[in-house]
Structure formats: structure tokens, C-alpha cells
Chain A
Amino acid sequence: MISGVLDPSLGKIKLNGSSKRLGKIAYMQQKDLLLPWLTVQENVMLPFKIKKNDTKNNFKDMLEKSKILGIEEYLQFFPNELSGGLKQRVSLLRTILQNSEFILLDEPFASLDAITRLELYSWIEKIKEHINKSIILVTHDIEEAIFLSDHVIIMSSGKNNFSYELPITLEHPRNTKITINNEFFNLKKLLLENLRKVKSID
């Protein structure tokens, strides 16, 4: 609904005062949704092509970011030649290149194996410095939420209308070492406590 693909049955969602959201929010999903007949480069430049501004500058920007995400050498490959993790990085690149107010990541790593997921977290940390936009990450993985975000919000649906916000003050850039220190552990404890209030976990 946020991306504008669906509209709410009741009420309104507005972006900068306008209900027209479709095409203005960069949206990355669990499926990489790369077009299999286009090369990585063509896939990544697609948002520019659609908005009709695939200019030299944008191309340069794409090249730089592809270097940072470590996919520069794969630009002429086809998606079916890449591993799951690589495909998600390509999808990520495509998403962040899109000219948008903010970026919406919807459980983007859910279909990857645990180790590849950890790799992807590091790539996100790396590219985050080069993006000037807010990122909304939807996830069900507590550790992932803590590791990647600056704020975690727990929301529940339905009548409860429960929400809990927790700022994460860990320093950037973060690496996997921090997942076993005390600060991390305390944050996790807080989140779990609040989750119990809305979900039947014990």
C-alpha cells in the first residue's frame, strides 16, 4: 500500500501532501524481479529508461554505486547466471538508483540463506553512506532490524493499534562483531519484551 500499488480501503495515505504515490517510492521486494532477458546493466538502468533520463551522469552514478556494491564485473551478465545474493544486490542497486523520496525494502533478504544474508547486511552498510535518503525496512527478523536500522518500530494490526519505537544508537559502520556484545543484547531484550505484548511468543 505504501508503494501505491494498492490503495487503502478506508482512509488515505499521503506522500508530501499528495495521494499520488505510485512511481515515487523506490520499492524492493523479496523476489529480485529482475527481467531475465535484460543484462544486469540494462536491468539497473531501467528506472532511468522509464523516466526517460538515462543520461551520462546517471550512468556514471550507476557505475560508481555498482563498484561499491561489488557488482561492476557482472554488469554484462544475465540474471540467471547470478547467485541469489548477487541478484538481490542488483535489485538493491536498481532500487536505490530510482529517483525517490525514500526507499522501501520489503523483507528483501527473506529468501536468502543465513550466511548470504549476513553478507548482504555488510553491503547495505557500505552503500548507505552514499545514499541521502531514508530507508524503510520491513522485516520479521529482530536481529536484522537492530543491525541495520537507526529506529525500530513495532506495529501491530487490527484493534490493538499497538506501536513501540526504539532508537538504535549503535555506531556506524556496523559489523557482525557487534551482534554478540551487550548493547546489542539489551536492545534485543527490549524488542522481545514488546513483541510479546502483541504476539504469543514466550
Chain B
Amino acid sequence: MKKIIFSLFVLFAFLGCQNNESISLALDWYPNSNHAGIYSAIDEGFFQDEKIDFEIYTPSDPTAIISAVASGRDDFGLSYQPDVLQAQSAGLDVISVLSIAQHPLNSIMTLKENNISTPKDLKGKTIGFPGIPSNKAMLKTVLNNQGLDISDVETIDVGFELVKALISGSVDAIIGAYWTHESIVMEQQGYEINIIRLEEWGVPDYYELILITNVTFLNENKIEVEKVVESITKGYKFAIKNPEKSISSVINIAGKEIVEEDVERKGIELLIPMWESKSIPFGFQDTKKWEETYNWMKNNNFLKDELKIEDLLFTEFSNN
């Protein structure tokens, strides 16, 4: 009897301690080329140099990341600027500390044989999306741009299964698919697709991937946050210069079982100009871009409360 109680005690201590020592990051999606910099930061030892025990994982529910960070369950998260804005306006205490993908990667994809090339052609169709709310906002904008309304289409939450939903024909189109990833996946399976770029139809040039953290965590652990931001920045700079090695890091750490090597090696080439360009250094957070995105969402009634731009992002570590 005593043995049982003792082992229970140890068990609970173990369970409780799980999250205490290491810093956790919730990835926005299953590991792919968009995360290359983070995996390089781990593999090349940048976190180790800063003595940070970094833990990353893919949640089985992609819609839960922001709330996990807001509640303090996870210290950091990767997410998309429009979703973060929606969460912030709903009162969640998250803040952006680094930008990764500077431009939209999200797009609407259809099978070529369905002859859908502009948003107008989406009238009366079913569209699959991953359950992440910003997709609906962007869809609405794109439809309104061509005189349509969201009620002219039917949306279905398909979680991670965007590609399958499209290929199997259970939906006519998908949104939430990246033209740097899902397009490659489908081409590899032998499907020809049409891509509708969101920025071309009224969606502003928003940040596709940003690093967020909890406001309280930031205030209490400024040094830790600086180290994490620096390590990740180093990681991406390394990935930009060494894409091959970087993808190999993703495969080695995340496991070959869940990383599609061919797709990701192609994907990183498309992503590098999205991470850094001549005019925009990696990680830079442009307050004007945040204003633009904020205004777009506010004017379309996608946000609950008014927000002050200064509260949404923290640029001390990203804009050096």
C-alpha cells in the first residue's frame, strides 16, 4: 500500500514538473519548411549556447495555439497576424515579438479542372478551411471585392486535411493552403491546381507567420524572451544561407515520419524571399503594417474591441 502511494506521489510530481523547466513553443502546423529556422536554431545549438531548454511540438488542434499561449500553458507560439489580432481584440494577453513570414502565404486553391480562377467563380461552391478563424475573414474580403458575400459560399472545417478534402472532391476549393506548401504537396501527387492569391483581391499584405508570447511572460522574463528571439533569428539567418542543411535538421529532429522531404526542400526555396528581402531584414516588425492589417479587420467587423497598436507588438528584440 505504501509503495502505491509513494509511486503516485512521484507520478504527480513528474506530471506537474513537466512544463516547469523548459521553454515551450507551440508550432502552428505540423513541421514544415516554414519552421526551418527554428529547427536550425535547435540543431546548430543556438538555444544551447544561451542555455535555454527549448521544447517544440505540433498540437493536434491547430486552433488552440493562441489560447494556449494566452493562458500560459505554452510560453511561445507561432501563429498568423490576423488570428492574433482577433485574439487580442477578444482580450487575450498575447503579444508579437518577432515576424517570420513577412507576406501572405495563404491562398485559395482549386483543382484546375474546375476552372475556378477568380473569386467570382466561387459563387455557390463549398470551401474547406482549417477551422482557423482568420481564413473566414480573408474569404469574406476576397468575395466582397468581387461583389459577393460569404453567404454565397458554404464553408466546412476540415482541420489539417485541406489537401485530401480538395482532391477527394468533398470540397470545391480550399483556403488556408499555402502556395509554398500545399501546392507542392498536390503537384507531387499529380494534381494540377489553380491558385488565387489573397493579396491580389483586397487582403492587405499581412504577416503570415509571427512569434507570439504571453504578456506576463514577457514582462517577467525579458531576458529569456530576448534570448529566444535572438536564437530563432540566428536560426533563420542560418536557414536562409544553408537551406539544405536546415531542412535536414527539420527531418532529423521532427522525424522523417512526419516531414515530407521532397515537399519541404522545394518549399524552402519559395519561402526564403518571404523571410527576408533587400528592403526588409529578417524578423523586422513594421508598425505601419500592423496598422494596415488592424484597420482592414476593424473596417470589416472582424474585431471585437478597439486596440492600441503599441500594445500588439514588442519590437525591442526584433527590430535591431
Q: Do A and B interact directly, with beta carbons closer than 8 Å? A: no
